[in-house]
Amino acid sequence: DIQMTQSPSTLPASVGDGVTITCRASQSISSWLAWYQQKPGKAPKLLISKASTLESGVPSRFSGSGSGTEFTLTISSLHPDDFATYYCQQYKTYPYTFGQGTKLEIK
């Protein structure tokens, strides 16, 4: 199975800050990487597919990059609504695997 490792696990930040979350795959997944946002008690929401393709309706302050084994999710200027938990996921092959999550919290 492909292991996905996210860092950091927790990220304290303030409104207006720019932040970056890193995701590493245990083997190359080309660009078959997705990012999800999850708020407490809610289902995950797809933000980015194919490492860098923003889903419709997702604000442009979100961006993704990377290929192979190293990926990043960047939020350029945090809004209050962005404080949530973020997960990366590889969909190159089954079993799909997720990173352990990064909780973006208010500093």
Partner 1 sequence: EVQLLESGGGLVQPGGSLRLSCAAAGFSFSTYGMSWVRQAPGKGLEWVSAISGSGGTTYYADSVKGRFTISRDNSKNTLYLQMNSLIADDTAVYYCAKDPAGLRLPLDYWGQGTLVTVSS
99 near partner 1, judged by CB under 8 A: yes
51 near partner 1, judged by CB under 8 A: no
DSSP three-state, residue 28: coil
Q: Which stretch binds partner 1 (CB under 8 A): 12-20, 58-66, 76-84, 87-95?
A: 87-95
86 near partner 1, judged by CB under 8 A: no
Per-residue 3-state assignment (H helix, E strand, C coil) for the chain: CCCEEEECCEEEECCCCCEEEEEEECCCCCCCEEEEEECCCCCCEEEEECCCEECCCCCCCEEEEEECCEEEEEECCCCHHHCCEEEEEECCCCCCEECCCEEEEEC
19 near partner 1, judged by CB under 8 A: no
95 near partner 1, judged by CB under 8 A: yes
Between residues 17 and 44, which has the closer beta carbon with respect to partner 1? 44
- H runs (alpha helix) in the chain: none
79 near partner 1, judged by CB under 8 A: no
Tell me which residues touch partner 1 (CB under 8 A).
1, 32, 34, 36, 38, 42-46, 49-50, 55, 87, 89, 91, 94-101
